[in-house]
Every structure is written in C-alpha cells, then in structure tokens.
Amino acid sequence: MASIPAFLLVLLPLLLSAAVSAYPDAGFGFQATLTHIDAGAGYTEAQLLSRAVRRSKARVAALQSLATTTAADAITVARILVLASEGEYLMSMGIGTPPRYYSAILDTGSDLIWTQCAPCMLCVDQPTPFFDPAQSPSYAKLPCNSPMCNALYYPLCYRNVCVYQYFYGDSANTAGVLSNETFTFGTNDTRVTVPRIAFGCGNLNAGSLFNGSGMVGFGRGPLSLVSQLGSPRFSYCLTSFMSPVPSRLYFGAYATLNSTSASTGEPVQSTPFIVNPGLPTMYYLNMTGISVGGELLPIDPSVFAINDADGTGGVIIDSGSTITYLARAAYDMVHQAFADQVGLPLTNATSLADVLDTCFVWPPPPRKIVTMPELAFHFEGANMELPLENYMLIDGDTGNLCLAIAASDDGSIIGSFQHQNFHVLYDNENSLLSFTPATCNVM
C-alpha cells in the first residue's frame, strides 16, 4: 500500500482525532425516489436542457479519458473518476445513528459512496449540514488491511487508518477517511436500515455536487452500494425529462419488471452485460446495430466493440449522462440517415451547436408535412425501439429541432434521455440488462 503524500500529513491528524459486511436476506429490498439535480431550481425548460447536455459533454470526455488510462496509473484513474461522477439524479439516504438524511448523486458509472464530513477543512456548498461522525455511535474508521480499503483505486494508510483520495484536475476533489456506518434507505413502508456500509467521509472536497451532498456509486465494483448490500438487482423508471414528477428506484426484491410488462402489454427484453477488463465497474452492452426509419444502417460491428488491447471503445449504459454519444463512425451514419429522411434543411444555428449538430430548421414551411424516422438501438437479444420524445428535442433558445445524440471520439454511451419512460432492470446476478416501456410518472 502506498505511503501518504506529504501535503496530507499536516491535515490528517485533525481528520483522525476523534470490516464486516452485513448482507441482507433474499427478501431484502426498498423503493426510493429519484429527483433530478436541477429540480426546483427555477430554470426554464431551455436552461434545464442546456445544462444537462453540457454536463453530458463533460462526463463523456471524462469516461473516455478513463478508458484510455492504463491500470498502472492509479493516480490518474482516481483523478478522472470524480470527473466521471457528474450525474443527473439524486437519491435520498440516511447516514448514522440516528439517521441524518442527505441527497446523493446516483451514479451507475462509479463505486464509491461518499459525503462531506465535519470537521470540514475544504468543502463545497451543499443543501444540508455536513455529516458529523462524532454524533453517531455507529461510526467507525476502517483499518488499512480491510478488504474495502484495498478495493480503492489508490488506497493510502495513516496510523493504520484507511485514507482515500479522488482528484479533480490538479486539486483535491474529495479526500478523507474510509469508514463504516449504518445507512437507511427507502421510503414509507419499504424503509430499511443496514449496518457497516463502507463509505468515504470526506473532509477535503472541491468542485460541485449539483444540489447534492455526496455520491452513491451503483457500479459493479466491491465498494458500490449494489455490491455491499449483496442484493444484486436494482431498477429505475425515469420520468420524462421535463416532467415535475420524480422518478423511481427499486432495489432488491422490489426490482422486477413483471407488473410493468403486464400493464403495458409490451414484452420484457434482455441483453447480457459484457465485462471490460480495463473498466470492470461500468455496465457495458453488446450493441449490434442501429436502425433509422426501419432500415438497418451498415455500421461495422467493430465500431461498437471493446478494444482488447487497451480497453477503449465499447458501449456503456449510463444513468449519469443525459444524451447518447455514439462512436464517430456510427454517429456519422445516423446523422446522414436523418438528414436524408427528414427532408428539412440542417442548421447549426442552435444554442447547443457545440454538442448537437443534427438539427433542423423548425417549424417546417407551411403545408410541408414532415414525418420523423423511427430510431431503434439493437443489442444482443434485444431491440430498444425509441419513442420520438426520447431522441428528438426542441432547442428552447432557437426553436430548432435536434437529434438528442452526439458524436464521440472513443466508445459509445447510452444516456438517460434515451431510456426515459422505460423501466430498466440491472441484474448483476445473471449479468443481464432488461427493459420494457413504462409510464413512469404513475408508477
């Protein structure tokens, strides 16, 4: 294990003044509410859309950088992870005994659970007081030889206490003590309390938490909430992007698509996860093609494949990215197919032109009838046929009509805008992603 850097030696004695996993049984589960990070902030629809699209641009750049980082470069990995952790939805959870409630950014692209803790030497704004471990008798620091400490990308040790640090650029984004604590999850009659959850108690933090008070990782690694709870199923149903109705999260025994499929009459479709050894925490899918207007585009399958040599490429499904990013070769074909089939002039006169460039002059000329082509993503064993509102959007500043998909220079990411009003199930036990259309605002 690495020795701690000198700049933290002065601060850690102040941080440190002052593991056994508890796996629930097979019937364990809870329901939770997911709130969009910009909800209630007074933004116009145009501002909401612009902010989300630009967050997606930053996130895809970070995930691509992470994919090109060698496993040996642990410090760089740690730096990029926080950049990759900008998300779109907040989940409420209670920390400590008695529980103090915090909203944390849900992230299917990372593992670490962390919040800002008192005493806070460098912290960012959040809507709740910092968690104070001194006020919770169930709080305990983890030793350096604990399995959870060794699961960190870059574990550090100070006086036999495990210290974590994730970096944002050249300054500390979150650093503190890896600890155990009792967590409370769920709403109403599904509320559950689980002891000995490993989390980061951060005393040195920078950046932005976007109206949250920390992060909760739902990735595939040992530090994620999914892995620690030992109930490897969760699902979510994301309401329409502009809807004021919160979205829903289902965990464990509550994560099932049976009732959703019965109510909509649509079958449940499933596709296997694949593992990228370079980024094992991410949820990769085997994408086999894309259809526009019912025509399968001639995209070479290698465009969607993971590069065995360096872990680049591949297709990730990611709740923390709003729009979808397609590898350049695939995007160019989708762009051309829409340009050919829509029959309207393309325009770059849009406030989102630095991200979206398949945009059409809107509204169309008088008496011009426009039919938008259907869009479908094809995966191994499953087809995701997208409703129009999941791939076309109106730029609120210009009124132009844009395809909510952008080009990526490495790999592809299926964003949350594309799976709104789908009930999506992550089944880690069977390594399957399943989905079915749903009316999420009434679930």
pTM for this entry: 0.87
* pLDDT the model gives residue 350: 66
* pLDDT the model gives residue 142: 97
Alpha-carbon distance of 364 to 225, in angstroms, equals 48
Q: Is 307 helix (H, G, I), strand (E, B) or coil?
A: coil
Higher pLDDT, 131 or 87: 131
Band of pLDDT at residue 80, cut at 50, 70 and 90: very low
Q: What is the dihedral of CA 277, 282, 283, 288, to 10 degrees?
A: -60
Alpha-carbon distance of 256 to 260, in angstroms, equals 8
Q: What is the DSSP string of 376-406?
A: EEEETTEEEEEPGGGTEEE-TTT--EEESEE
| Residue closest to 405 by CA, chosen among 434, 397, 416 | 416
Domains of the chain (ranges; CATH) run: 29-252 (2.40.70.10), 268-442 (2.40.70.10)
Task: Report the pLDDT averaged over residues 142-148.
Answer: 96
pLDDT digits (tens, 9 = 90+) for 101-136: 999 988 888 888 999 999 888 888 888 999 999 999
Higher pLDDT, 155 or 72: 155
pLDDT at 57 over 80: no
Q: Is 364 exposed, middle or buried (0-12, 13-18, 19+ CB in 10 A)?
A: middle
Inter-residue contact 134 to 120 (CB < 8 Å): no
Catalytic residue ranges: 107, 318
Residues 6+ positions from 43 with CB-CB distance below 8 Å: 51
Residue 121 to residues 114, 124, 175: CA-CA distances in angstroms?
A: 16, 10, 11
Q: Is 218 helix (H, G, I), strand (E, B) or coil?
A: coil
Backbone φ, ψ for residue 60 (5° rounding): -65, -35
* pLDDT the model gives residue 58: 60
pLDDT digits (tens, 9 = 90+) for 199-235: 999 888 777 777 788 889 899 999 999 999 998 899 9
Query: Where is mean pLDDT largest: 80-84, 342-346, 394-398?
Result: 342-346
Q: Which amino acid is at 117?
A: C
Inter-residue contact 288 to 385 (CB < 8 Å): no
**Which residue(s) pair with 175 in the sheet?**
165, 204
pLDDT at 35 over 60: yes
* pLDDT the model gives residue 236: 96
* pLDDT the model gives residue 65: 54
pLDDT digits (tens, 9 = 90+) for 282-328: 899 999 999 999 999 999 999 999 988 878 889 999 887 888 999 99
Q: Is 249 helix (H, G, I), strand (E, B) or coil?
A: strand
pLDDT at 334 over 60: yes
Helices 74-83 and 45-67, interaxial angle, to 10°?
A: 170
Residue 323 to residues 193, 341, 416: CA-CA distances in angstroms?
A: 34, 22, 6
Inter-residue contact 37 to 90 (CB < 8 Å): yes
Band of pLDDT at residue 6, cut at 50, 70 and 90: very low
Inter-residue contact 186 to 93 (CB < 8 Å): no
Residues 6+ positions from 417 with CB-CB distance below 8 Å: 52, 241, 322, 323, 324, 390, 391, 393, 404
Q: Is 6 helix (H, G, I), strand (E, B) or coil?
A: helix
pLDDT digits (tens, 9 = 90+) for 357-375: 899 988 887 777 788 999 9
pLDDT digits (tens, 9 = 90+) for 166-183: 654 333 367 889 999 999
Alpha-carbon distance of 150 to 161, in angstroms, equals 12
* pLDDT the model gives residue 34: 94
Average pLDDT value over all residues in the chain: 83
